[in-house]
Structure 1
Amino acid sequence: MLSKTQKLILGIVILLLVDVIWVSSSELTKFLYENEKFDKPFFCTYFKTSMFAIYLVVIGLVTPWRESCERQNGSYSVMDQVADDENYYSTNPSLSDPTFIPIRSSGAISGTESDDSSIRSVRFSKLAEVREMSAHEATEALMARLSYAASIRIHRQKSHHKTAKTALLFCVLWFVANYFFQLSLELGETAMVTLLSSSSSLFTLVLAAFFPSAVGDKFTITKIIAVAMNMGGIVTVTISDIHDARFSRGALLALFSAFFYAAYLVFVKRKSDTEEKVDIPLFFGFVGLWNLLLMWPIFFILHFLKIEQFELPNQNQFAILFLNGLVGTVISEALWLWGCFLTSSLIGTIAMSLQIPLSIVFDVVLKRKPYSPMFYIGSIPIFLALMLVALLMRNDDSDPLMRLFKAIYRKLCRCRKPNIVRINDEEQQESLISSND
């Protein structure tokens, strides 16, 4: 089991790796749109999202093999008795209050026996005490009477059913966020779209404050300043590459994408609580399956409205689309969600903003495109904001800046107080005596 520090370090490394994958995926998508002339945002989003169903195929192949290995090398361990086990049923009664019903005997119902009998004999009550077990306790009792293999199968079916319902609730959020982002890239400036999509950190901060899933999602002054530093760095870096900052429809779609992305992350993490309570590959597998089954009618709507003509890709376009979907969507999204579970939802969205400096570095190295010093200046607060939030996670989400402001305020108030000269008792007595004389 990893410690808290190890989880934090592993989560940050995973998020940085995801940033590199996403920057490469964006360049590949741009190549597909411009060079291969396959400008189909909805088709690309539908195809990439449907590829999540690969996880279900992998799980279906791996699970039987893993069960056979566990049966061959199966071992049982003795569980330690918990101190509260003896008092569990006394503090948590599993039965309802008693009810008494008469017992039928030889077609007659009687609650008492005759007291006139002179013969002394043992008498039994004619009333039966009945207590009912709750539905949850009855299910647990039924599971306890089943064999080990049968109980494992039923538990897996219940887990798969719950994961499928969760994926159905949130697959629409994920699909809409990605489709709006792909569409905004087609309609607006790339740098401006990236800037506005990075505002998901602000949406995450607000949504996580209203719908917290962990201690790390509480609202603090330090986190507000960290997000402000992050946004300030994004603005500085993006302005160095923007020539026409007009607010177009693409920019508005980028804002919608940022909101849906933040809502998806916050609500999924709130639903699953921790990384031990959600099967990430199974979850994304059902996301791909639901999108594959539910989103295909939109093709006809877009084609009928002449928004996006339906057209199948050729061999080269399909190869690029498949590679981009496998690495840039299937693998990277699972890694990103895992990294967010290991850290926090705010760190995950702030790490997304690192795509801006990484994409510009990609252009400098491969495309030999020069950038102004504002780029390097703006990159500094982006990294500082990420490190600040990471340190807050490490220190149990304290609010050091709030404590600093309070200390400064108390110090200033103390300095403003008038100096009071205190006279000791002897001097006061001497002054009183001299005054009386």
Structure 2
Amino acid sequence: MLPSTKEYAIGAVLILLVDVLWTGSNYISNTVLTHGYEKPFAMTYLCTASFTLYLIPFFVLIRQGSGREQAETWWSKLGFYLPHMSNAIPTRAGRPSYTAETRRPAIRLRPSSIDGRRPATDLPVSPRRKSVSRLPETQALIGQRDEEVPSQGENSSLSHAEALVHASELPPLSIRETAVLSMEFAVIWFVANWSFVAALAYTSVASGTTLGSTSGFFTLVLGSVLGIDRFSLCKFAAVALSFLGVALVTWADQDTSHMPQAPTKPLLGDAFALASALCYAGYVTLLKVRIGSEDRISMPLFLGCVGAFNLVAFWPVGLLLHVTGMEPISWPHDSLTTLGIVFNMCITVVSDFAYLAAMLKSSPLLTTIGLSLTIPMAVCGDAIRQAMALSLQSICGSILVLTSFAQIAWDENRSG
């Protein structure tokens, strides 16, 4: 069902709020990292650990025993629900099936974001394909739960329409499966965020935001290679525009050394931002391959588990960085820096919650285009701070990346 005008307006306001929060978070990180507290690992560790707060509502639900009933409430649509698997029932193919009670509360198809820090494109399993493609590593979660689809040549009396199961119609992942999945993906997720925070220490916020946003296009390319997304001519043109924009932004960064408050190592920062985009794209794509559809998983539960796993598993990395002298462990040198870090942790939790709410109130097209507004916001912010002049290259590069976002969103909306 399409959202009402009032809901659409609320969704638009929430998207703008998320844009402001994410852009502000990037500036806070940049300020903290460039004013005496150059510790990107510590910043990443603390912010990712804050996602553990998402587990609190699930502990409350467990104590209340709400997993027995899947009431379709606004709270559950945000992802705060306990997946409950009912007993399997036989089908005429001789394979187990699951009742409708196993499915999560209804939610509209949304742009794939996962950690929400960058806009990304939809990656639906295309119903145009004659079969649901399987890679060896997908069998653990997709193959394990998709027993309704007969193997090739088996029970040929079943029609093709009966054999094809859209990934979003599969049962949701259980709490245990979600926890295991979060452990499998926590490393690449942490590296993606660590690289992006490191980029903010060396390059401008505008460049880091623009280059980091190209994760959506790496996702598109990887999705097409793995056969889980349709690569149209329109999307190819969007990817070309995006990389042209990246080249222009990188070129503009080479001419900032003479400016006041210029980035210390802009090209190194740009490289970190692109590495972050590539890692994030790999993370999103592999997650899509593993579970088939993002709608099968409770994102707050997944992020909470990722935060808890990072909190427990990554402190030895910080200790190793301290021992080697690469990033000595130390408390912030002043109260403002401490306040900035704490405020950034709060933004991480609040902004992603607002992002989930915005996706429910608006449409995928509005969400995708709206979140890409962080690019012009960052460009204008850098111009005000005089960290990066509004050169012709940077303006054109940002416009090209922004245009490519709109082009992909339009193509997805038209074909969807």
Which range, TM-score by smaller chain?
A: 0.5 to 0.7
* Contact 2:204–2:387 (8 Å) recurs in 1: no
Superposed counterparts of 1:20-59, under 5 Å: 20-35=20-35, 37-59=36-58
* Contact 1:191–1:238 (8 Å) recurs in 2: no
| Structure 1 residues 270 and 331: alpha-carbon distance in aligned structure 2, compared to 1, 3 A threshold | farther
1:332 aligned onto 2:351? yes
Q: Deviations over 1:306-342 (max 9, x none)?
A: 1000113365433321210121x23434666887899
Shift of 1:292: 0.7
* Contact 1:177–1:260 (8 Å) recurs in 2: yes
| Structure 1 residues 374 and 203: alpha-carbon distance in aligned structure 2, compared to 1, 3 A threshold | closer
Matched with 2:180 is 165
- Structure number with greater Rg is 1
Amino acid at match of 1:91: R
RMSD of aligned Cα (Å): 4.4
1:269 aligned onto 2:288? yes
Shift of 1:279: 0.8
CA distance in 1, matches of 2:230, 2:53: 36
Shift of 1:250: 3.8
| Structure 1 residues 24 and 68: alpha-carbon distance in aligned structure 2, compared to 1, 3 A threshold | same
Shift of 1:29: 1.3
How many positions carry a matched residue from both structures?
Answer: 316
User: Which of 175, 192, 196 in structure 2 is aligned with 1:177?
Assistant: 192
| Structure 1 residues 159 and 13: alpha-carbon distance in aligned structure 2, compared to 1, 3 A threshold | farther
* Contact 1:191–1:242 (8 Å) recurs in 2: no
Amino acid at match of 1:42: F
Amino acid at match of 1:319: L
Amino acid at match of 1:231: F
Amino acid at match of 2:339: A
Superposed counterparts of 1:30-429, under 5 Å: 30-35=30-35, 37-61=36-60, 64=63, 67=66, 91-93=92-94, 159-188=174-203, 193-213=208-228, 217-236=229-248, 239-240=251-252, 242-244=254-256, 248-313=267-332, 315-327=335-347, 329-333=348-352, 354-364=373-383, 371-372=390-391, 376-396=395-415
Secondary structure, in 3 states, of the residue corresponding to 2:189? Answer: helix
| Structure 1 residues 374 and 189: alpha-carbon distance in aligned structure 2, compared to 1, 3 A threshold | closer
CA distance in 1, matches of 2:2, 2:175: 26
CA distance in 2, matches of 1:6, 1:271: 36
Matched with 2:82 is none
CA distance in 2, matches of 1:69, 1:258: 39
* Contact 1:14–1:339 (8 Å) recurs in 2: yes
Secondary structure, in 3 states, of the residue corresponding to 2:330? Answer: coil
Shift of 1:28: 1.0
Shift of 1:362: 2.2
Shift of 1:60: 1.6
Secondary structure, in 3 states, of the residue corresponding to 1:91? Answer: coil
The share of aligned pairs that are identical, in percent, is: 30
Secondary structure, in 3 states, of the residue corresponding to 1:395? Answer: helix
Secondary structure, in 3 states, of the residue corresponding to 2:180? Answer: helix
Give ranges in structure 1 of 5+ residues lacking alignment.
72-87, 96-134, 137-155, 398-437
CA distance in 1, matches of 2:282, 2:364: 14
Amino acid at match of 2:351: S
Shift of 1:227: 1.9
Matched with 1:81 is none
Shift of 1:257: 1.4
Secondary structure, in 3 states, of the residue corresponding to 1:260? Answer: helix
Secondary structure, in 3 states, of the residue corresponding to 2:311? Answer: helix
Secondary structure, in 3 states, of the residue corresponding to 1:360? Answer: helix
CA distance in 2, matches of 1:364, 1:184: 18
| Structure 1 residues 284 and 6: alpha-carbon distance in aligned structure 2, compared to 1, 3 A threshold | farther
Shift of 1:178: 1.1
Secondary structure, in 3 states, of the residue corresponding to 1:271? Answer: helix
* Contact 1:12–1:343 (8 Å) recurs in 2: no
Shift of 1:305: 0.8
* Contact 1:234–1:356 (8 Å) recurs in 2: no
* Contact 1:198–1:352 (8 Å) recurs in 2: no
Moved more, 22-31 or 263-272: 263-272
Shift of 1:285: 0.5
Q: Deviations over 1:268-289 (max 9, x none)?
A: 2343444532111111110001
| Structure 1 residues 378 and 192: alpha-carbon distance in aligned structure 2, compared to 1, 3 A threshold | closer
| Structure 1 residues 212 and 287: alpha-carbon distance in aligned structure 2, compared to 1, 3 A threshold | farther
